[in-house]
Amino acid sequence: MISDPHDEPLRDEAPPDAVEPPEARDASELEQLREEAARNRAGWQRAQADYENLKRRSAEDVRRRVERSQSAIFDSLVDLADDFRRAIENETSGDAPLPEGVQLIERKLIGLLERNNVYPIAAVGVPFDTNYHEAMGSLPGPHDQVVAEVSRGWLIGDRVLRASKVMVGADPPNEQTVDAASKGPEADAAEGDEPCRE
């Protein structure tokens, strides 16, 4: 008898009972697609987070550069304001029109600085504060209090643009200054003073 070639299984074919049912193939393909989708979503989320971090760092970098530029500009302007102040203080002839003109220019310059959130730091008569003042030496006067200003200090917003160069009182503390010191900084804050602005 001659065998029919269609009856014999091919070598590469799996026996009929080893073939995966279509439902199982669909479920495994679906699971693979879900895993691939999850990987793609996780990659997208990482890329989105990296992009947001880059935007935040770039904005912070721009803000720092603007602040440095402003500081350089305003540092020049405050030097100019100091020169005007010295010219006014050193003028001996009070009836000349120069002092009035210089005073007007100084007022305009101070107004310009204040409109741009730049303010002089209070110095003479206030307690010495290393955050705002740089001690250049000591003079007779109330202990740890600024008794003379060598060079005016300036704030830009709440940051120190340039610290005041000052002379600090060197007299030994008396009972009043000891009492004030024992109250601490909380007492000053309670009074609502801004110790750093003139």
Is 105 a domain residue? no
Question: Which residues contact residue 34 at a Cβ distance below 8 angstroms, ignoring those fewer than 6 apart?
Answer: none
**Burial annotation 130-147 (CB, 10 A radius, 16+ → b, else e):** eebbebeebeebbbbbbb
CA distances from 80 to 119, 163, 166 (A): 14, 16, 19
**Model pLDDT, residue 56:** 92
State the residue range of the domain holding 157. Answer: 118-198
Is 193 a domain residue? yes
Q: What's the total number of domains in the chain? A: 1
Q: What is the largest CA-CA distance in the chain?
A: 141
Q: Write down the pTM of the prediction.
A: 0.49
The conformational region for residue 9 under phi > 0 = left, psi -120 to 50 = alpha, else beta, is beta
**Model pLDDT, residue 191:** 42
How many C-beta atoms lie closer than 10 Å to residue 162's C-beta?
Answer: 20
**Contact in structure between 130 and 163 (CB atoms under 8 Å):** no
Radius of gyration, CA atoms only, the chain: 39
**Model pLDDT, residue 96:** 59
Cα 191 from Cα 30, distance rounded (Å)? 71
Which residue matches tokens 């669909």?
Answer: 26
Is 97 a domain residue? no
CATH number of the domain to which 144 belongs: 2.30.22.10
User: Checking DSSP bridges between strand 164-169 and strand 133-139, what pairing results, if any?
Assistant: parallel
Cα 21 from Cα 187, distance rounded (Å)? 84
Is 173 a domain residue? yes
**Model pLDDT, residue 82:** 80
Cα torsion through 48, 54, 58, 60, rounded to 10: 90
Is 125 a domain residue? yes
Is 89 a domain residue? no
**Model pLDDT, residue 198:** 65
Is 13 a domain residue? no
Per-residue pLDDT of the chain (198 residues; tens, 9 = 90+): 555 555 555 555 555 555 555 666 677 888 888 899 999 999 999 999 999 999 999 999 998 888 888 887 887 778 778 877 777 776 655 555 666 777 778 888 888 888 888 889 888 989 998 889 999 888 888 888 899 998 889 898 888 888 999 999 987 766 554 444 444 444 443 344 455 666
